[in-house]
Amino acid sequence: MALEKLLKALVVKQTGKHADYTHSLPLLAGKLKMELPTELSEKLAGFMEFYFESRYPEAQREFYKKCTPDFARKNLDQVRKVFKWFRERL
């Protein structure tokens, strides 16, 4: 969620307009006036798994099975790196 808010802040800063009402990280990143590294774009798309699977009850059970401590550490580390990349551009 923090990454979504950061992307929305960047959209507002760059465009002077309200950011879209969306949770889609790739869509928000696409509104930015900057070239994103391919790896970063791919990570944003991958992070969407956390939004959709954690928001919809029918998907939660399967998602929770994947959430081992190792899975959480690895993914949190990736989210932090992407967050830092965008924060440096704010």
The confidence score (pLDDT) of residue 54 equals 53
Selection from 1, 56, 40, 58 nearest residue 24 by Cα: 1
Selection from 2, 6, 42 nearest residue 26 by Cα: 42
Residue 81: both structure tokens together: 């790196």
CA distance 76 to 73: 5
The confidence score (pLDDT) of residue 50 equals 80
Selection from 5, 24, 28 nearest residue 15 by Cα: 28
Provide the domain count of the chain: 1
The confidence score (pLDDT) of residue 1 equals 87
**Digits of tens for pLDDT over the chain (90 positions)?**
899 999 999 999 999 999 999 989 999 999 999 999 999 999 999 998 887 655 667 767 777 888 899 999 999 999 999 999 999 998
Range of the domain at 9: 2-87
pTM, to two decimals = 0.83
